[in-house]
Each structure stands twice: as structure tokens, then as C-alpha cells.
């Protein structure tokens, strides 16, 4: 009886530990013409990021993560592509959920909407990666 209790306890412990893989963070982001809300995101390096983007604007928007320290040209074009780490695009009126792995390196990663004129109008954010 006692060993059975021990076995059940060990099984529960294994199940609990299996659930604690890498950390994760979820964000529900509203995209409007022309802003992200929220626009700041804090994550642990290497964590799983679950991003639900709702586009309440009248036009398509995207959520694009750039290398730390990136300056983008106006308009955003192919010269800026090497600075893109990850991107998601959502049509007007749509909601979509995306998952990506946060960068390992701590730092501040600029977020922009690369549709012409959007980041220039203030559609920017920042993803902060902590160790
Ligand atoms: Cu946009």
C-alpha cells in the first residue's frame, strides 16, 4: 500500500515536471491604424512566445521583430530584410495566433509594422529579452 502511494506520487511528480519545459509567455495584441496595444513585451530568452494578433484596423498589418539596434529605412524595403528575425501578418478584421521562440540573447528587439507608412506613423513596439 505504501509503495503504491509512493509510485502514484512519483508518477504525478513526473507529469508535473514534464509540464515545466521551457518558459512561455502569451500576449494578446490589438493592431489598429496605426499602433500596437500593448506595444512592449518582456520575455525570457529562448522562451516560447504565443502571440495572438487582432487587427481592428481597416488595412493589413504585420508584427515584425528586428535585430537589436536596427534602424529601418522609409519605406521598409528589401534592404531591411536582413534585419528581420520573425514576422506575422494579419488581414483587417482577422485574429490569428502565432508561436515563435524568443531570441536567446538578452536585449531590446524593435517591433515594427512594415506596411508602407505604418511604422513611420507610430506603429512600433519593443520586445525585451531577459536572461
Ligand atoms: Cu500596419
C-alpha of residue 91 to centroid of ligand 1, in Å: 10
Share of residues in the chain with pLDDT > 70 (%): 85
- pLDDT tens digits, 30-60: 999 999 999 999 999 999 999 999 999 999 9
C-alpha of residue 101 to centroid of ligand 1, in Å? 23
Say which residue, 30 or 22, is predicted with more confidence: 30
Average pLDDT of span 87-104: 98
Q: How far is the CA of 8 from the centre of ligand 1 (A)?
A: 52
Question: Residue 32 and residue 54: Cα distance in Å, rounded?
Answer: 9
> Which pTM does this prediction carry?
0.84
Asked if residues 52 and 97 have their Cβ atoms less than 8 Å apart, the reply is yes
Largest CA distance in the chain: 72
**97 CA to middle of ligand 1, Å?**
17
CA 94 to centroid of ligand 1, rounded, Å = 13
Model confidence at 15, pLDDT cuts 50, 70, 90, reads: very low
Amino acid at each position: 500500500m505504501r509503495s503504491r502511494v509512493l509510485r502514484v506520487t512519483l508518477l504525478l511528480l513526473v507529469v508535473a515536471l514534464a509540464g515545466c519545459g521551457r518558459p512561455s509567455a502569451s500576449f494578446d495584441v490589438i493592431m489598429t491604424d496605426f499602433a500596437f496595444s500593448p506595444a512592449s513585451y518582456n520575455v525570457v530568452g529562448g522562451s516560447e512566445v504565443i502571440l495572438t494578433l487582432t487587427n481592428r484596423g481597416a488595412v493589413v498589418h504585420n508584427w515584425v521583430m528586428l535585430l537589436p539596434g536596427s534602424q529601418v529605412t522609409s519605406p521598409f524595403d528589401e534592404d531591411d530584410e536582413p534585419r528581420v528575425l520573425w514576422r506575422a501578418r494579419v488581414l483587417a478584421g482577422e485574429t490569428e495566433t502565432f508561436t515563435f521562440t524568443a531570441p536567446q540573447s538578452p536585449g531590446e528587439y524593435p517591433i515594427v509594422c512594415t506596411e508602407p507608412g505604418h511604422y513611420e506613423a507610430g506603429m512600433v513596439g519593443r520586445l525585451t529579452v531577459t536572461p
